[in-house]
Amino acid sequence: MMKTPLTLRPMFEYATTYFPDQQIVARQADGLTRRSYRDTGRRVRQLASALAALGVTAGDRVGTFLWNDAAHLEAYFAIPSLGAVLHTINLRLPADHLAYVINHAADRVLIVDRALWPVLAPLRASLSTVRAIILTGTGYVGEPDPPGTLDYDTLLAQGDPAFAWAELEEDQPLGLCYTSATTGYPKGVLYSHRGIYLHSLGLGLANTFGISADDTVLPIVPMFHANAWGLPFAAFWFGAKIVLPGPAPRPAVLLDLLRDEQVTVAIGVPTVWLALAQELERRPAPLALRAAICGGAAAPPALIRRYEKIFHIPFLHGYGMTETSPVATVARLKPSHRDLSEEAQLRVKASQGMPLPGLTVRLEREGRDVPWDGEAVGELCIQGPWIADAYEGDARTAETFRDGWLHTGDVATIDSEGYVRLVDRTKDVIKSGGEWISSVDLENALMAHPAVLEAAVVGIPHPRWGERPLAFVVVKEGMAVTKEELLAALGPQFARWQWPDDVIWVAEVPKTSVGKFLKRALREQYQDYFAPR
């Protein structure tokens, strides 16, 4: 067999050779831009040439501080083409974490949206490794660029459209993403060319997302978050039309893009799909979606039912982490599930699903394997060719990567057919009187109530029971529900001792930088709620 390196180069060349006229549509502050793969390929080579002229070489890190836009997609391919490392920086990190990840990554160049520059400007003097800052986008009218910065379009115009790719090895690093930690600074995960190649191939499988040239793909999840779940790489390779939602897209903007561009595949976290469902109810629209893909947090079964039964849009549930590149499992029905009742099928769809081909999973509890019976719980452990094996220059590696396995920190069950079902995060599971209570199951049940928009449940210290569940609920606009009604609705599914001890009404559940419920903030704010008065 030929020993052909599995790198980004053949993916890029396949796309631009066989799908030169396919479109990339990008929303900018001043409207939509449309470019072909052919034009995008030329711009990618020009950007790579311009970065090389700035002194970027193999192994150097180039940070991107960008929305899901055309420049970001160009950077996805141009930076690794030099053998350099694409560092996608989370726009929503606090200032001290931003400075940390840029310095820890040793970014040599930053590519920044002008409208986002005010976020980085106060940090500029503390960014010790940055040698050049490139600004793109329209920014603020009438404001000149800061001294010493470079203009993206000017650099591209000076670049070579026939720039030759570097010779790459498959084990070379391609990208770097930082994942938030429970405590301390974010942890860096380094991706190889081989890992991204194989992960992208996995996204094209029919049992996964089945991405092809027949699709129009909208990555709603940010491109700074685990490479938008790898979708930009896979969609480009397989020749799909790509729609990029641009700066701070609101639900109304997303719905317009879904409708006008006839998007067939879109990916987002549950909070995005919840907001889009509300927008769809206000403004019904003919959509071409064959898959509303949800990940980043467990999707409530009520949300899946809403899309499939009310909007008639297939809803696909997946699971992954920054450390898994990130897609690890997908919940699709097997042929044997077709004869199940609607409720039984919904339970399968609401699970995290089976691992992608090439990955292996197991459950561990107190150092022992847990049986796959759908009941016994343990920490989910994963291994495979696109699973990370360390954090970049971080002593916390030993906590997560042990004996050749990624220990995810997620408590789960696996049934006899291999379907993973998350019970909770190890840090979120509620231990009350020596028994475990799943915060995820309680949240899903609360969000099944027609008056509830969002619900988060956390364990709060209790003088008698160790911890007790406390629920935080957001009610839909124009609706009302009482605490007693909500708790009564839990009755058929939960023993009374598992019910939350109280319900607190909130305007919004606090969220992380990537849209997950920020339970840590709730625990900290209400840690004395059950303390003796």
Single out the catalytic residue among 309, 436, 482, 505. Answer: 436
Q: How many CB atoms lie within 10 A of CB 369?
A: 12
Q: Is 323 a catalytic residue?
A: yes
- Are 211 and 234 in contact, with CB atoms under 8 Å apart? yes
Q: For residue 170, how many other CB atoms are within 10 A of its CB? A: 18
Residues 6+ apart with CB under 8 A from 386: 191, 195, 196, 198, 199, 202, 324, 325, 358
Is the four-CA dihedral 341, 343, 344, 346 of positive or negative sign? positive
Q: Which DSSP symbol is given to 75?
A: H
Residue 358: both structure tokens together: 């090439």
Distance between CA atoms of 442 and 424, rounded to whole angstroms? 11
Vertex 436: Cα angle to 434 and 437 (nearest 5): 130
- Active-site entry in 74, 170, 323, 443: 323
Does the active-site annotation cover 505?
no
Which position among 40, 64, 179, 329 bears the catalytic label? 179
Scored b (16 or more CB within 10 A) or e, 118-138 reads ebbeeeeeebeebebbbbbbe
Q: What tokens were used for 102? A: 């840029």
Cα separation, 295 vs 298, in Å, equals: 7
Q: Exposed, middle or buried by CB within 10 Å (0-12, 13-18, 19+), for 321?
A: buried
Based on the residue annotation, tell me whether 179 is a catalytic residue of this protein.
yes
Inter-residue long-range contacts of 33-39, CB under 8 Å, 24+ positions, other chains counted: 33/70, 35/70, 37/236, 37/239
- Catalytically annotated residue among 17, 143, 431, 435: 431
270-282 helix and 251-260 helix, angle to the nearest 10 degrees: 70
- The dihedral over CA atoms of 232, 233, 238, 241, expressed in degrees to the nearest 10, equals 20
Q: What's the one-letter identity of residue 65?
A: F
User: What would the two tokens of residue 14 be?
Assistant: 């396949």
**Residues with catalytic annotation?**
179, 323, 431, 436
